[in-house]
Structure 1
């Protein structure tokens, strides 16, 4: 495993930022680390921070929706990170279940889906204990959306589908609505309980038999949340009160929860109804360019909650192995970076990473074209405003082409020992 030392560091620290010069392949490495940890597409999430990214995108916020009467309204919606943590918690819960329970759940899940489809297709009306009627509009995520015109202010009621599956799987006796509150050990009953009571009993009374499906044991998996360009967003605006929650010392501690800004709008059936926490199988992996001055705007309280690991061009030069001119590309990169490191005002943070040299695969291995189109413009931007900039540029050019007089070619066998 090529990235084992980074995996070990991430598992130990929980929060890791890969820093280094541009083009060192930090984003590529972050995704490769997640894959080597055993994460599939569902167990990793990728987001790139930018100046307009905020709390409502990342944690939660109010989003506009079209109401049934055609008017515009707002609903609280989980952000990307909160949704991701819910998936990780579900994995932890499911991985502790037996194959027998998982098979039962899968069977009831199929029956629930059939019940919802039939109810929507037939516009079936269900009656609550108070006499009012409701229909089922859709299933959104893990919520069944019921529609009740008797509630003009809140006609749409979300019912937790996972709770219904649990009631069905464990064959929980339901005589009155309060039995749901008692089973889930809640202090108070909720409006969705009345709907869950009716739906659960209706599914149990369905005429067709429940088909028992054989499920596989669910493995506990790591969930890696990748934040590219982590320093380009305003950390305090994005994370809000999660500064506390992301601290590695509080990872997975359900008894220490953070009340989010919209906590009063979180349904009591939500896994974060009592506050937010990050489960122990969630890891945060960020990337950042050393030369990006926006690092100075990152809150120190945020920075100290991460471990920082510098990625040097030589650490990721294996990216170039797929090139026909791999040896030559590596040697050119080494010579150029050695010269960059000698220049006062630049140094290692301004070295050129292997990502730039991957362009040789698209331009037919033309090193001169790579210099003219990609490398030289980058270096000129670095030294803009420097005294004797043309003299510095000439030194860099000579290092790249390994000549002081002309643009001579470099054989693949040259400078092999320098790697």
Structure 2
């Protein structure tokens, strides 16, 4: 129990305190007031964030009547997220469903629904609402129109020159993508997963045609409504049914069936993948592509055409294995993908890259020797393992002038690798300090 002379503060709460509160809620079921905007998601269940934090604060402080000195919303959510919990925004759901825990909030959101643009234009479909004058136009600074870069040729020889993969490894990744149409690149941070994903797409296209590549990054707040379809606010603040990135991308690909299109999903496992994908879990399969396997989307109005994934759409995802806060992918999703594992490459490709930029040979040898030894130490640590090794991409942007190389290497080790080691061995600061000393010795 905390010292009664020192007031207990929310900053002293740990992840274990929150887990203790969640276990108590599950075991004893104390009634919690429903949330209206946010949910704390843990093991597939949803809880109101501030009441959970309030209970954890009372248990940790040993004061059953203590009041949490934090407001709901961002102050509460930020603290929970710092403790590696996921906080998501509530979204409209079907009434009387198992998740219908906040009827009042859902009814309020339904009042905001104005239908799709086509429905709003039809006579007799709009509800009677008092007339409101259109808001005055706001002044904005002129913005330069975005223009996609012109495509340039991309060849296998160019890929071999910049990828740290052997010809056999590259060919195997390409074969997996063609066979399954869905490829997942996994490995420790800094192993060039996103870099490789984009190059695989370029190789298949034969050019850097960005019009046929779409990149999205998943995160804890990313939802089915963002990715597939759902109700989202427009520029006037009213909610309308909008197609998400996936539907728009598949529509574009279906209009150009003779050429491949690539959807790149960065940090795939940082989002709630099963919830984000929805029907895509079925339609991703290589033998479930095309109009014959189309399905009706749950938000789609009656009479709208069903949705399908065109045969010319390929999906490449990346997955970081070192983040302990991320849940593993379920087996239903895993069998839709072929997997390629990437490893840190502190060998001849990195040596050749650095030598080509004038980095002294002695410094290159120091870098490779020390990072190889560090990764062996990390791989042998029972609390870490190979998934936490340091990748080579930290060193793939050599200095512009050879005389800057020693300072370049020292700053990367000190400012980027060092803090990572402090986090890895948070409970063993002496071990982290010893490893940093070995890395920086003589630099």
Which of the five TM-score ranges fits, normalised by the shorter chain?
Answer: 0.5 to 0.7
Does residue 35 in structure 1 map to residue 202 in structure 2?
yes
Match of 1:307 in 2: 338
Match of 1:382 in 2: 424
Cα distance in 2 between the residues matched to 1:33 and 1:256: 27
* 8 A contact 1:25–1:316 mirrored in 2: no
The TM-score, its normalising length taken from structure 2, stands at 0.54
- Give the secondary-structure state (helix, strand or coil) at the position aligned to 1:293: coil
Match of 2:295 in 1: 258
Match of 2:319 in 1: 288
Q: Once the 2 structures are TM-superposed, how far is the Cα of residue 52 of structure 1 from its aligned partner?
A: 0.8
Cα distance in 2 between the residues matched to 1:379 and 1:370: 13
The unaligned stretches of length 5 or more in structure 1 are 93-219, 268-272, 402-406, 410-419
Distance 1:333 1:391, change over 3 A: closer
Q: Once the 2 structures are TM-superposed, how far is the Cα of residue 317 of structure 1 from its aligned partner?
A: 7.7
Q: Once the 2 structures are TM-superposed, how far is the Cα of residue 13 of structure 1 from its aligned partner?
A: 1.5
Distance 1:255 1:305, change over 3 A: same
Q: Which string of whole-angstrom CA distances, capped at 9 and with x for unpartnered residues, describes residues 208-244 of structure 1?
A: xxxxxxxxxxxx3221100001011111221122211
- Give the secondary-structure state (helix, strand or coil) at the position aligned to 1:61: strand
Q: Once the 2 structures are TM-superposed, how far is the Cα of residue 384 of structure 1 from its aligned partner?
A: 1.3
Cα distance in 2 between the residues matched to 1:350 and 1:356: 14
- The 5-angstrom pairing of residues 92-103 of structure 1 reads 92=257
Cα distance in 2 between the residues matched to 1:313 and 1:382: 17
Cα distance in 2 between the residues matched to 1:374 and 1:235: 29
The higher relative CO (CA closer than 8 Å, separation ≥ 6) is in 1
Cα distance in 2 between the residues matched to 1:72 and 1:341: 51
- The 5-angstrom pairing of residues 324-335 of structure 1 reads 324-325=358-359, 327-328=364-365, 329-335=367-373
Cα distance in 1 between the residues matched to 2:346 and 2:431: 30
Distance 1:339 1:73, change over 3 A: closer
Q: 1:231 aligns with which of 269, 284, 309?
A: 269
Q: Once the 2 structures are TM-superposed, how far is the Cα of residue 315 of structure 1 from its aligned partner?
A: 8.6
- Which of these two proteins has the greater Rg computed from alpha carbons? 1
Q: 2:248 aligns with which of 83, 86, 97?
A: 83
Cα distance in 2 between the residues matched to 1:79 and 1:266: 19
Match of 1:197 in 2: none
- Give the secondary-structure state (helix, strand or coil) at the position aligned to 1:45: strand
Cα distance in 2 between the residues matched to 1:313 and 1:266: 52
* 8 A contact 2:283–2:289 mirrored in 1: yes
Q: Which string of whole-angstrom CA distances, capped at 9 and with x for unpartnered residues, describes residues 309-349 of structure 1?
A: 21001299846715433844444433332332233322211
Number of residue equivalences: 263
- The 5-angstrom pairing of residues 236-255 of structure 1 reads 236-252=274-290, 254-255=291-292
Cα distance in 2 between the residues matched to 1:316 and 1:224: 31
- Give the secondary-structure state (helix, strand or coil) at the position aligned to 1:37: helix
Distance 1:298 1:263, change over 3 A: same
The TM-score, its normalising length taken from structure 1, stands at 0.57
Cα distance in 2 between the residues matched to 1:72 and 1:348: 48
Q: Once the 2 structures are TM-superposed, how far is the Cα of residue 59 of structure 1 from its aligned partner?
A: 0.7
Q: Once the 2 structures are TM-superposed, how far is the Cα of residue 293 of structure 1 from its aligned partner?
A: 2.5
* 8 A contact 2:346–2:371 mirrored in 1: no
* 8 A contact 2:421–2:432 mirrored in 1: no
